[in-house]
């Protein structure tokens, strides 16, 4: 791991705010396995919301991604790429499930119709 105090001088140059991003989770063992979800939708109207991904291996082991902090915008026939992270790595994926949410308690429920979807491991790109 990295100790934040070693980066203090680099993170605060001239008093201006600086952001640092590390690919870790908040749970032990703190490693994250990142995937790029590439989706093309065919809804006629624009949908804005969050996608949670669940992957399952052939033995039935399941791991669920964390929901992204920023909503994605889905338009008809437009590709959207979403970075997802998992606490565990699943080597041979048997099943992929997606959950679309607007995080709105008021208003109608919307479906996101998927035309095409690809899930690519960024840690192991040959998968």
Residue 15 inside a domain? The answer is: no
pLDDT at 61: 93
| 17 inside domain | no
In a domain, 115, yes or no: yes
Asked if residue 75 belongs to a domain, the reply is yes
Q: Give, as one character, the DSSP assignment of residue 65.
A: P
Upstream peptide bond of 29 is cis (omega within 30 degrees of 0): yes
Q: How confident is the model at residue 112 (pLDDT cuts 50, 70, 90)?
A: confident
Does residue 20 lie within any of the structural domains? no
Residue (of 34, 39, 31) closest to 65 by Cα position: 34
**If you average pLDDT over residues 12-35, what whole number do you get?**
64
Helical ranges in the chain per DSSP H: 8-11
Banded model confidence at residue 11, pLDDT cuts 50, 70, 90: low
In-domain check, residue 19:
no
In the chain, the percentage of residues whose pLDDT exceeds 70 is 72
Name the domain count of the chain.
Answer: 1
Q: Which range of residues forms the domain containing residue 48?
A: 31-121
* CATH at residue 56: 2.60.60.20
- Within a domain: 24: no
pTM over 0.85: no
Structural domain includes residue 64:
yes
């Amino acid at each position: 791991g990295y100790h934040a105090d070693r980066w203090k001088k680099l993170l605060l140059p001239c008093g201006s705010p600086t952001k640092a991003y590390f690919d870790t989770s908040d749970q032990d063992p703190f490693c994250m396995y990142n995937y790029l979800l590439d989706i093309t939708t065919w809804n006629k109207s624009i949908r804005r919301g969050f996608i949670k991904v669940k992957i399952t291996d052939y033995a039935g082991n399941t791991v669920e991604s964390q929901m992204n902090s920023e909503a994605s915008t889905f338009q008809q026939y437009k590709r959207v790429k979403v970075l997802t992270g998992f606490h565990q790595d699943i080597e041979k994926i048997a099943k992929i499930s997606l959950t679309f949410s607007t995080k709105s308690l008021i208003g109608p429920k919307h479906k996101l119709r998927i035309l095409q979807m690809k899930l690519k491991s960024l840690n192991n790109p040959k998968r």
